[in-house]
Amino acid sequence: MPGLAPGIFIWKMLSKTGIIPAHKKTIREEFDMARVALVTGGTRGIGAAISKALKAAGYKVAASYAGNDAAAETFKAETGIPVYKWDVSSFDACAAGVKKVEADLGPVDVLVNNAGITKDTAFHKMTLDQWNAVINTNLGSLFNMTRQVIEGMRARKFGRVINISSVNGQKGQFGQVNYSAAKAGDIGFTKSLALETAKGGITVNVICPGYINTEMVQAVPKEVLDKNILPQIPVNRLGEPEEIARSVVFLAADDAGFITGSTLTVNGGQYMV
């Protein structure tokens, strides 16, 4: 099971050979040995799908969120995944939040930097507040969050950092200078940190989703979707949040240790690099 620490796999193999007596692990024991995954923006949309998929794969999952208490409580009730509220654009809030998660679940082995916002407008109309809010949340949060867990990952010689960027960070988008700049920055952050951590058992990768069937895209008028968006996508459909989630589970696995500094594009062929 991807979310289980290597000790469980080794124990099972030795049990089969008779080197150690066979002993069936209890659910509690397997839970205690499971790796801990933290997903920012993990209670809605793509983040919720990621949180659920990681839990299904055997990880102990924590999901952070920024402000929608009702949605977070509904998510918690439906999934059993603990939720934590803090602002990822604040370094101090991230430090306190990660400390609480680790006190509850254990050291974070897998960090998914998924939280993001949009404040779209043409650049000549963009305010400083609109620029700063998007840059600080969508790019600054990668520093704020990853800095809290990187030392522990280095000490344990294992870690997975998975950043969620966007197709618009690769190709640009009208009215999204702030968003595209931040998401392009996520890619540069990923490549540079991957170089620094590769020898220490820590991988750092980035996923660039295209148009995904979330609440935000569902709010687009159907005629706009059919005439302006779907024709750009060769597979002629929106992606599903679960498709992004499966990509995260793949990159989070112990078996994905040879993949680092990579950009995984999940966009239905909309933009090929």
Among all residues, which ones are annotated catalytic?
Answer: 179
Q: Would strands 108-113 and 36-39 be described as parallel, antiparallel, or unpaired?
A: parallel
Q: Which two tokens stand for residue 150?
A: 């990187």
Beta bridge partners of 207: 164, 264
Q: How far is CA 60 from CA 4, 32, 47, 99, 157, in A?
A: 9, 9, 15, 16, 19
Task: Report the C-alpha gap between 158 and 213 in whole angstroms.
Answer: 33
Q: Which two tokens stand for residue 21?
A: 């007596």
Write out the H or E segment, with its range, that includes residue 85: strand 83-85
Q: How far is CA 85 from CA 69, 88, 101, 114, 119, in A?
A: 8, 9, 11, 14, 21
